[in-house]
Amino acid sequence: MKFNPFVTSDLSKNRKRHFNAPSHIRRKIMSCPLSKELRQKYSVRPMPIRKDDELRSPFKVIFLILGHNRNTLKVTVLEFLESKE
């Protein structure tokens, strides 16, 4: 359910805004929260993702950002974690 009426959930509009955004806004869009240990180490909550970063999603899947430039966004699934917590 959508709570904010000013934010669209349309995929094509979201892709358009992502790929046409300037780099200082895209940097904010392409950021993700850090783990508790890394939050204490770097004293920040979110950080922008870069090429060859490993991400852990809430769905227990590990992703690897292969390429991130102005025109393409490639995210590849490395492996599925077997354990369900």
Structural domain that includes position 85? 50-85
Tokens linked to 14:
């979201």
Do 83 and 68 belong together in one domain? yes
* Alpha helices for the chain (secondary structure H): 11-20, 23-29, 36-42
What is the C-alpha to C-alpha distance for residues 46 and 44, in angstroms, rounded to an integer?
Answer: 6
The verdict on residue 61 lying in a domain is: yes
The verdict on residue 5 lying in a domain is: no
Do 55 and 26 belong together in one domain? no
Domain count, the chain: 2
- Convert the pLDDT of each residue in 19-78 to its tens digit: 888 888 888 888 888 888 888 888 988 888 776 677 666 655 455 554 445 454 555 444
The verdict on residue 3 lying in a domain is: no
Do 44 and 65 belong together in one domain? no
Q: Among residues 43, 49, 56, 58, which one has the least CA distance to residue 26?
A: 49
Confidence at residue 57, expressed as pLDDT on a 0 to 100 scale: 61
Do 60 and 79 belong together in one domain? yes
Please identify which residue in the block is written with the tokens 């895209």.
26
